[in-house]
Chain A
Amino acid sequence: MILRVKKLSHAYLLLACFATSPVLAQASASVTAGPLRGNAQASPSNQPLNERVARGPRTDDTRNCDSRGVTVNSANGSASASVTTSPGGSSAVAGGGSPGSRTQYFGCDADHHRSEK
């Protein structure tokens, strides 16, 4: 009888561990407005690197100062965000992240804004 109760308690404990185990799913958001495109991703840091880097076309052709972009990658790579603009008109982009993240600007801001905080 005592043995049966012990087995039952182990089963409850195992069930409790399963019930409280984290659901570490990837989350992403993409938004578009006129010439702007934005993308943000968050995922557990045990994901493969190529699945948690910021996506988006690089706009590092500095001859065209109307086109800009910014990419933010957190230190452990689990959060990223990027914004790009198409040429034409006036545009501005900005990015930031948690301490240790890398923020890279592309386009005509590239020479002035390359930060790692």
Chain B
Amino acid sequence: MKALLPKTLFSLAFALTLATPALAQQGSAAAGSAGTAAVGGNSASTLGAGAVSNSPKGDASALGMGASAAGDNAKTRAGVHGNNNLNGNAMAMAHDGGDMAKSHTVCHDRSDSVDCRTKTMAHEPGGPPVKSTTEGEATIPQQ
């Protein structure tokens, strides 16, 4: 009996050691953030949405970025770079010489998490800029 108990504990510990690291990374996560700034006749919007999934059949990630702006001078730009760790960037800006609206979103798609952050700014001449930040973050839960 005394000899058998350590064997039982050893087999239990061995099973947990084998199972835990392999399963800790399995799961899925998705997150995104978005923002809009508008002042006068100018508006700027950006967003990003990303997903990551880890499973025994393989890891996968996807990331989408978007930017839109309306006004006299509107500029937009969006891009996604990377392979396994993805980085996304979206920028939108519109201004008419005085008023300015601007939005910027950055997303990171990592092996076990997704996080996005959007910063917006609206500015009128003579006044302080109005800024805001929104964040979205998700992590694959540890098993």
Q: Which residues on A are within 8 Å of B, measured CB to CB?
A: 1-2, 5-6, 8-9, 12-13, 16-17, 20-46, 54, 68, 70-86, 88-99, 101, 117
Contacts and interface: CB of A to CB of B under 8 A. Distances in A.
Contacts of A94: 64-66, 78-80, 88, 90
A28 B8 contact: no
Count class of interface residues, chain B: 35 or more
Q: Which of A42, A43, A85, A95 has the most CB of B within 10 A?
A: A42
B4 A93 contact: no
Given A27-B138, A89-B70, A38 B49 contact: yes
Interface in B42-64: 43, 45-53, 55, 57-64
Given A22-B23, A45-B53, A5 B4 contact: yes
Interface in B17-75: 19-20, 23, 26-36, 43, 45-53, 55, 57-71, 74-75
Given A79-B61, A99-B83, A35 B32 contact: no
A10 to B, nearest CB: 9
B84 A98 contact: yes
A38 B47 contact: yes
Nearest to B55: A44
Contacts, number: 264
Given A90-B75, A98-B62, A27 B136 contact: no
Nearest to A97: B62
Of the listed residues B48, B50, B64, B118, the one surrounded by the most CB atoms of chain A closer than 10 A to its CB is B64
Given A33-B118, A71-B64, A91-B76, 5 more contacts: A2-B4, A26-B28, A35-B68, A42-B29, A86-B68
A23 B81 CA distance: 30
A75 to B, nearest CB: 7
Nearest to A39: B49
A12 B30 contact: no
Contacts of B68: 33-36, 85-86, 88-92
Contacts of A26: 28
B77 to A, nearest CB: 6
A45 B57 contact: yes
A42 B28 contact: yes
